[in-house]
Amino acid sequence: MAFRNKNIVIIGGSSGIGFATAQLAYQQGATVTITGTSTATAQQAAQLIGNVAAYPLDITDEHAVNRFFNQLTAIDHVLVSAGGTKLGSLFEGSVADHATPIQLRLLGNIHVVRAATPKLRSGGSFTFTGGLSTDRPVSGAWVSGIATAVAEQMARVLALDLAPIRFNAISPGYTDTPMWTNVLGDNREQVLATVAHTLPVKRIARPDEVAQAVLSLMQNKSVTGEVIHVDGGARLV
Ligand SMILES: NC(=O)c1ccc[n+]([C@@H]2O[C@H](COP(=O)([O-])OP(=O)(O)OC[C@H]3O[C@@H](n4cnc5c(N)ncnc54)[C@H](OP(=O)(O)O)[C@@H]3O)[C@@H](O)[C@H]2O)c1
């Protein structure tokens, strides 16, 4: 029960990595608050975990983020796991289509930090979500490569600017979450199996494996400005 008496807020806790982190933190005694983009997704996830508070939130909406954190009292740790990946050429679609995922990581994280910091208890931390494409850009996923780099760099710069609050980032590689169903549709299983074969560990990560690393970032009071990679060795191949 390492997280007993700890209040943990997970933005994007209704699915995938955020959901797995919420579940693990809850099992370890934390009081957990999660968000999804809708009341339905947030509440469905909360019911699967246990006695967890659930709210709808779009972190690109600054006023909504302020309202959300205003209703909370003391917070120990915040994970921002909101987001997804976007494929496509720079010349396809509108500029706004490309900017949205980047704004989610840039403005979304800024909105969250500004609103949550006044509620943060001593020893508190923020964890942002980067990703493999920072170090290993994938052709066609250029937007994701920028968005993940933004999240990881934000952890490093804010660790200095807002010390002693700790800021870290988790950088997942290919992880088995609903995000891939959204991106790959019916090709999901085939593509992930092909990718798994290329990795040193020969498998796709489970979201709870990423969650374990997130909880260690929250717990270790000497870790700040750090990016932890949970990628099955993908950066090496
Ligand atoms: N899975 C991977 O292989 C992988 C690899 C590298 C990096 N990542 C990154 O890890 C993060 C989590 O990914 P995941 O695989 O867990 O994805 P996921 O299963 O699709 O979960 C995404 C979460 O973000 C929420 N969300 C989406 N847009 C939002 C917004 N504007 N404001 C607030 N919340 C929002 C979603 O809410 P709803 O449930 O309501 O939609 C959901 O809770 C993402 O940033 C992703 O880019 C994932």
ω into 164 cis (within 30 of 0): yes
pLDDT of residue 85: 86
Q: Is residue 190 part of a domain?
A: yes
Q: Is residue 202 part of a domain?
A: yes
Closest Cα to residue 78, out of 89, 65, 90?
65
pLDDT of residue 87: 87
**Any atom of ligand 1 within 6 Å of the Cβ of 23:** no
Q: Is residue 1 part of a domain?
A: no
Q: What is the CATH number of the domain that holds 14?
A: 3.40.50.720
Amino acid letter for position 147: A
For residue 200, CA distances in Å to 17, 52, 170, 190 come to 22, 37, 20, 18
Question: pLDDT (tens digit, 9 = 90+) per residue, 174-214?
Answer: 999 999 998 899 999 999 999 999 999 999 999 999 999 99
Which single residue is written with the structure tokens 């396809």?
A: 92
Q: Is residue 150 part of a domain?
A: yes
Q: Is residue 167 part of a domain?
A: yes
Q: Is residue 207 part of a domain?
A: yes
Taking a C-beta distance cutoff of 8 angstroms, is the pair 46, 25 a contact?
Answer: no
Q: Is residue 173 part of a domain?
A: yes
**Any atom of ligand 1 within 6 Å of the Cβ of 60:** yes
**Any atom of ligand 1 within 6 Å of the Cβ of 101:** no
Identify which of 111, 129, 179, 199 to mutate to test ligand 1's pocket (most ligand atoms within 8 A of the CB). Answer: 179
The total number of structural domains in the chain stands at 1
Please give the residue range of the domain that contains residue 44.
7-236
State both tokens at 198: 């290329």
Q: Is residue 2 part of a domain?
A: no
Question: pLDDT (tens digit, 9 = 90+) per residue, 71-102?
Answer: 999 999 999 999 988 888 999 999 999 999 99
